[in-house]
Structures are given as C-alpha cells and as structure tokens.
Structure 1
Amino acid sequence: MSAISKAWSLPSFLFSVFVFYWSLPIFAITYRIRFGNVVKRNDMLDWAKALVAFFRVTILKQGELSLYRGGRCLYLCNHRSWADFFIDTYLTEGRAALMSRWLVYFVFPVFCTSVIILRGIVLFKRGTIADKEAFNAWLDATLGKSIVPGLLVYPEGHRSLKPTSLPLKRGMLHFAYSRKLPVQLIITRGKEQVMSEKTMSVRWGRTLVVTYSKVLKPSDYDSFDAFFNDIQTNWDACWQSSYDKPTAGVPQLSMRDAHEYDYPRRMWWLQLAITLLSIVLLVAVLGGTWMGVRAGLATLGSVQQQAVVLGAVGWMGASLLRSFL
C-alpha cells in the first residue's frame, strides 16, 4: 500500500478506531446496548450488532449449516483483523467468550473491561505454556464461571491477510479433545475489508461471506490425530466455500432470536457502573480534545486557522468518501 493511499485512508481509519475504542459508551448512549434493562439481555451481541450496523456490513451465508446452539462448544474462526472481534461475536450470537492475548486489553481497555465483567473474554499471555495441564485446569475454571456456553478461538494464532490459511495450531484442539468439547468452524471472507490495522484502512458497506461447518465431536474419533485431520479437512472445505464459491443467489445471514441471559445481580451492577463511567470518560475526552484544538488554533492567525480547518475538513471528507466507495 503506497504512502499516498495510506495518507488518504488514515482519517477514516482513525475515526473508525475511535468509534471502536469508545463503542461501549457510544452505543450505550444510543441504547443499542441495553445496559439498563433488568430483564434478560445479551450485551455482547448488542455490541456486535451495533458495530456491524455502524460499518453497514452485509453477511451472506454459504451452505445449509448454521451456528451450533446446542450448548458448550469451541468455535474456530479465521483471524484477519481487529474487525474479527465484533464480526465473530455477531456470527456466534454472543454465545462464546473470546480467547485473546492480554495485549488486546491494553489496546481497547474500555470495551474489554465490560466484556471481562460479562465473563465474555479469556485473556492469556502469549508464549510457550510451561505446564499445559495447569493451564487447562485454569481454563476449565475460567469457563466454568462464564454464563456463555462457548469459547471462540483463532487456531491460526496470528492475523493474516493472505488468501490462504495459516497452519492450524493444535493447543486448543488438544484441549477440546481432552474435554470432549464439540467444535464448529466458522470461516468468513472479507473481515479485513471492513477494518484493517495492518493497512490502516476501513470500508463501509462491505459484503462478507461466511460458512459454518458441521459440528465435530471428539467422542466420534479414535485418536486426536484423526480428530485433528478431520478438522483440517473441514477447515479447508469451509475456506474454499467462503473464498472461492460464487456468491450469486447466496442468501443473507438470517439471525433468528438469539439467546439472552439473566445477568447475576453483581454482574448487572458492575456492567452498569463501567458503562456510566465510560460515558463520563468519553464526554471528558471529547471536551478536552475540543479545548485543545481551540487552544492550538488560537495560536494561529485567522488566515492560518481557516487554512488548517479547511485542510482538515477536506482531508477527512475525502477519506470518508473514499471509504464508502
């Protein structure tokens, strides 16, 4: 990607990252996240739905298979960009805790704090696990405290923009096999077109294509190798379905009534508190930014002020226009 293209994309990309970063208070203020409801709700799905709508994403579903809703499940998704977090949460209907590195928390602390309260994320340190049994026991305990039945994992391990998959890592598949945890694969084409931190680009109005696999149950296999080989076979087939098959006539993903949860009282109050605090912080940040911009402009002459404002508005406008094309 050329320097000129990156410069053109930068304002709209930064705007999208701002909305993503402050998505909790923004969508709470508009009540897309129903943080005040005392009845059943699904805040993770509300958050994902709001971002999918904000980016005007359309999702087509290849094949007859749909999301597994039968209970505990390990969902395996392809890893493309930051957009994975809300798109895959949407595709799993908020039924799965995201498994992610601790670094993600420091990049997006506001919504991550909310998801920690909802027990919808499992954060771990990247690196070699010295004691796998201890890690698995910790993971068992962590998942046992969650109200969502699934776990969402990226088995490629790294984000990639390649048109082919990275090799699948076996660690979490060993975990699924040892716990007799059903596995479903979810491969989606085009997530990096919505937003990509690697190319610093964003596009509104993109159409994605998703393929769900059949549910693979460890109890149906005589060995881990047989289980892994079938996962690889189905992964490759789902990839080919999403990436290579024609999309003419492919129906749009239809999300029927998703499951909602009775949040425990402590979780409800903590979620209310972090949401209200995030709204206060957002207002403070916006107010401080406005005062900083005004103070900066005040150091310039009137002609210079007009030139800076017009240049900034034109740059942002051109960048947004390009992102909608």
Structure 2
Amino acid sequence: MLPPAARTVLGLPAFLTGVAYLFWCFQGALLTGFLKFWRFRGPRNDCWAALSFLMWAFGVRIRKLPGPAPVADRKMVYLVNHRSWCDFFVDMWALGARPLPLSRGAVGAAFPAFTSSLLSVRSILLFNRKGIKDTEKFNQWLDRELAEGPSNPQCSLLVYPEGHRSQLNKSLPLKRGMLRYVHSRRLPVQVIVTAGKEEVLNESRRCVRFGSTLVTGCSEVLESSRIKDFEEFAKEVQRIWDAEWARVHVAQRSDDLPLLEPKPILDMPYTPAQLAAETAALVFWTATLLWLARFWFRTLVALAAAGPLGTAAVAGLGLWTAASLAAAALLPAPAPRAKPTAAALGSSNGEAAGVAAAAAAKKEG
C-alpha cells in the first residue's frame, strides 16, 4: 500500500477530474447524450439525466438492504446522512430525482454550472442558514416552493438533518429546525442511510474512486401526524435514525443484495419559461466548458513546443494523469480514519447498539 501522502499526490488529477464531473454534470450529460435539451415535447427529466451521467461517470452502484423501499407515490420528507460532495448526486439518484434537496446557498456559489440548471427547472432549494431570522417565514417559503416543485402534487423534500458533512464513525446529533417544520406540517418521514459515499468523491481527503459499490437502507415511514407532542416525535425520529445508521454501517457489501432501482418521473411538466431558462443555462455553461477546454489544449501545445523541458513537462503531466485515473479505478478506497464499531455506531439509544451487535454476532457465526 502507498503511504497516505503518496496516495494523495497520485490521486490529485483523478480527484480534480471527479470535481469537474460534478461541476459540469449537466454539460457532461448533454455531451454524452443523457440530456436532450432540444426536446421541448415528450419525455424529459434534465435532473435525472445529469444524475445518470454522474452515476455512469463515477461507476457507482448501490445495493439495498432488505426492508422498505423509498416511498415514491406520496409527498415525503427524506432524512439522509451527509458524508461528502457526492451526496449531492448519489442521494438524489437513489430517490429517483423526486425530492427537492434543501442545500445551503454556498453550494450555488461553489457549483454555479449545475445549480443554474437545477434552479431553472426548480429542482433545488438554496437557503442561507445564518439569514433565517423568522422561522415561520422560512417555513412558509418552504411551503410555497414545495407547492410549485417540478413533480407536483407529490413534490417531496430531501433534508440532511445532521446539518454538516461528517465522516466520523458515528452520526452527528440531529438538528431540530427541520424536524419542527416536518412536525408542524404533519408530513411523513423516511430515513435513508447510505454507507461508503465518502469513497466516491471525498473533498476532505482529496480523493476519488471510480467503480464503488455502496449499501443503502431505508426505514419504515414515520407518520408525524400520529404523534402530537414534538419532543416525542423528535425522540422517535432519533431512534429510527440511530437504528438505521447502525444497520447500514455494519452490513456487508454483498453481491447477493439487490441493486437499487429508483423510479424517476421521466416526463416532467416543465413550463416554457423553465425550458427557456434551462436552455440558456446549458448553452452558456457548455460554451464556457468548451472555451476552457480549448484554452487548456492550446496551453499544452504551446508548452510542448517551447523546447525539451516543456515537452517533458507535458509528457509527465500526461503520465501522472493516466496513473492517477488508473489508481482511482483499480486501487481500493483509502482506509477510513476509524473503522465503525458497534459501540461507536450506537448512540445512547439501546436499540441502535442492539442492531449493530446482532449483525456482528451473525457475521461471526
């Protein structure tokens, strides 16, 4: 095994390639045929096209643990674990691009190429966490956005209740703000936990892996309308979250598990105004991508023509990139900083620890 520092240096070109895939996902989907932006009539779902391109480009597969499947035929709030940048496409793909993800405004600033398309077709909600001074106004804004979402009347919401990305071997405490919104609107809740997402694209460790197999688990639906007291509701959500976290993170990524098969809406009711905005975003950012590619190509040609040192630099860069991409496809993912254990995965909740312990005992047996 390579030392961590050498693995980081080797993996840098592949990591930058993965970030480029994410940044330019709508343009990549367009250029590879996943997205047919000229089709103004007939089946079309631009968000699903971009997600399918990313899953193909990264070679990700998701296997599902026994149990319930994500509910797709009613308005839901999905509570999902937050691990890395790849959450932005893995979780949405797993849910068939049906919910609106609630993301911080910083995402729009960091990835304007794909958020401009998502905003055009109303497939993302961006907010400023520090700018929320009136909670009820924020909740009313959420109500309006969900009412006008692309998959009405079943427009659901995807929430990361931990509030921050974390790669610890245990969950962060769940934030209560969105839980209060869910409870006040009497919305049904489903917990979705996926293990291994940080292997696909890990911004904190600057690494990427092509061809990862992930494991996901889904809880039963919790009907918030049946629990009048918020504290009791929050406690029940935490119990379900802890149990599902433990169940997923002790599971083996076995080929015996079935592949997850989401159910997207392939014919979205986009309005002419949405299609016009999306076309403008796609044309602008595709032109930007092609201009940058041309600029980079001409820079390399000029460097190679500058003399032996320039030629050697271009050749070295090419070899480094090729080796990096090969390593990202062939080498196993870097070892986690700390392996999950039943003790670490279980919170103070006894059921979560029991689930982990039972799974470990079954494996040993």
> What letter matches 1:25 in structure 2?
Q
Give runs of aligned pairs for residues 9-158 of structure 1, distance below 5 A: 9-37=11-39, 38-127=41-130, 129-148=132-151, 149-158=155-164
RMSD: 1.7
Tell whether the 8 Å contact from 1:44 to 1:89 is kept in structure 2 after alignment. no
Aligned with 1:260: secondary structure? coil
After TM superposition, the structure 1 stretch with the greater mean CA deviation from structure 2, 212-221 or 195-204, is 212-221
Please tell me whether residue 204 in structure 1 is matched to residue 187 in structure 2.
Answer: no
Task: List alignment gaps of at least 5 residues for structure 2.
Answer: 331-365
- Answer 1 or 2: higher relative contact order, Cα 8 Å, separation at least 6: 1
Report how far residue 20 of structure 1 moved: 1.5
Aligned residue in 2 for 1:3: 5
For residues 46 and 241 of structure 1, the distance between their equivalents in structure 2, rounded to whole angstroms, comes to: 31
| TM-score normalised to structure 2 length | 0.84
Aligned residue in 2 for 1:163: 169
Report how far residue 19 of structure 1 moved: 1.8
After TM superposition, the structure 1 stretch with the greater mean CA deviation from structure 2, 194-203 or 119-128, is 119-128
- Percentage identity across aligned positions? 36
Aligned with 1:13: secondary structure? helix
Distance 1:170 1:128, change over 3 A: farther
After TM superposition, the structure 1 stretch with the greater mean CA deviation from structure 2, 24-33 or 116-125, is 24-33
Report how far residue 263 of structure 1 moved: 0.9
Distance 1:241 1:36, change over 3 A: farther
Distance 1:256 1:105, change over 3 A: closer
Distance 1:257 1:266, change over 3 A: closer
For residues 266 and 220 of structure 2, the distance between their equivalents in structure 1, rounded to whole angstroms, comes to: 20
* CA deviation profile, 1:281-321 (whole Å, cap 9, x unmatched): 211111122223333444x42x2123112211121111111
For residues 153 and 136 of structure 1, the distance between their equivalents in structure 2, rounded to whole angstroms, comes to: 14
Aligned residue in 2 for 1:232: 238
For residues 24 and 284 of structure 2, the distance between their equivalents in structure 1, rounded to whole angstroms, comes to: 12
> What letter matches 1:197 in structure 2?
E
| TM-score normalised to structure 1 length | 0.94
Tell whether the 8 Å contact from 1:58 to 1:205 is kept in structure 2 after alignment. yes
For residues 188 and 35 of structure 2, the distance between their equivalents in structure 1, rounded to whole angstroms, comes to: 30
How many residues end up aligned between the 2 structures?
Answer: 323
After TM superposition, the structure 1 stretch with the greater mean CA deviation from structure 2, 267-276 or 183-192, is 267-276
Please tell me whether residue 181 in structure 1 is matched to residue 184 in structure 2.
Answer: no
* CA deviation profile, 1:35-56 (whole Å, cap 9, x unmatched): 2222232221221111111111
Distance 1:255 1:72, change over 3 A: closer
Please tell me whether residue 314 in structure 1 is matched to residue 316 in structure 2.
Answer: no
Aligned residue in 2 for 1:214: 220
* CA deviation profile, 1:172-212 (whole Å, cap 9, x unmatched): 11001101111111100011101111000000111100011
For residues 36 and 67 of structure 1, the distance between their equivalents in structure 2, rounded to whole angstroms, comes to: 32
